[in-house]
């Protein structure tokens, strides 16, 4: 990947790579964002399940919410646009905890943080880099994996991102959800989410959401709604067809060579050595 290509679609802010779809001015003025106490934030490192979570919340009956585009997408006019939402706002973002606007922390807004096995995340982000015109092109999986492990990808290091959030995992306004747990026992995860948001639902409603937010159903809907700009949930594209690829757990095994797995596991062990989340991911994913 030439640094020239990277320069055209990415820029560095506070040492982290961002898409040029997030203007420097906007990133510089994040702290002027005025959070409301009833705001809900959907947070994750890219390719960890934000779209899925957004669909789930949008399908909760009587939630009376407006799903907005990501807080870091666009220019400074973004905050005026967000101010115009009269309903309860659900705002997606891929920002690390440190970069989150200060009023969100002060007002103790509800935050759902989604974590996914980093090997699957890396594979998914690799495909995103290949298919998304707003990201640099990468020639090979090996070249991309090297960048991923160094944190030289959009939104920086997966390890750093997760660790900034893990420091706040016991904050009562933050709920951690694992992508793999959602896949394994959707109903249990959904009940956790609705309890956290203070919304009650019956079994029929739960089953309806499970069906409507199944991967194939979302993929079909993405094709139909692709031209709806209100459905931009990712700060890296408004093209919903790019977002849903496979949605499976464990696809990484088809990409990593034994040597790549060994190198990745060494980096993981080193970076996550004091992390409870790291231990959990290690136990639940090969």
Residues with catalytic roles: 94
Rounded Cα–Cα distance for residues 176 and 141 (Å): 29
Taking the alpha carbons at both ends of the chain, their separation in whole angstroms is 30
What b/e string do you get for 97-123 counting C-beta neighbours within 10 Å, with b at 16 or more?
Answer: bebbbebbeeeebbbbbbbbbbbbbbb
Rounded to 5°, the CA angle 24-25-29 comes to 115
Q: Where are the alpha helices (DSSP H) in 19-117?
A: 24-28, 50-58, 78-83, 102-106
Rounded CA-CA distance 62/199 in Å is 9
Closest CA to 147 of 278, 259, 2: 2
């Amino acid at each position: 990947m030439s640094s020239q290509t990277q320069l055209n679609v990415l820029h560095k802010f506070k040492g982290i790579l961002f898409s040029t779809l997030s203007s420097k001015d906007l990133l510089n003025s994040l702290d002027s964002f005025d959070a409301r106490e009833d705001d809900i934030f959907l947070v994750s490192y890219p390719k960890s399940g934000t779209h899925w979570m957004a669909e789930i919340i949008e399908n909760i009956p009587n939630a009376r919410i407006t799903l907005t585009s990501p807080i870091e997408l666009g220019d400074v006019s973004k905050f005026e646009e967000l101010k115009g939402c009269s309903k309860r706002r659900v705002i997606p973002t891929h920002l690390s905890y440190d970069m989150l606007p200060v009023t969100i922390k002060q007002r103790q807004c509800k935050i759902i943080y989604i974590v996914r096995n980093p090997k699957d995340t890396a594979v998914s982000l690799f495909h995103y880099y290949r298919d998304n015109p707003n990201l640099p092109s990468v020639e090979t999986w090996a070249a991309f994996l090297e960048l991923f492990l160094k944190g030289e990808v959009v939104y920086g290091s997966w390890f750093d991102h997760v660790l900034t959030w893990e420091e706040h995992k016991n904050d009562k306004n933050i709920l951690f959800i694992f992508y793999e747990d959602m896949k394994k026992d959707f109903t249990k995860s959904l009940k956790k989410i609705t309890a956290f948001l203070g919304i009650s639902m019956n079994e029929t409603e739960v089953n309806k959401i499970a069906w409507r937010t199944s991967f194939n159903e979302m993929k079909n809907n993405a094709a139909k709604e692709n031209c709806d700009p209100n459905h931009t949930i990712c700060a890296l594209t408004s093209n919903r067809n790019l977002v849903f690829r496979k949605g499976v757990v464990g696809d990484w095994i088809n990409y990593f060579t034994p040597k790549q797995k060994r190198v990745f596991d060494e980096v993981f062990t080193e970076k996550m050595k004091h992390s409870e989340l790291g231990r959990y991911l290690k136990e639940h994913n090969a």
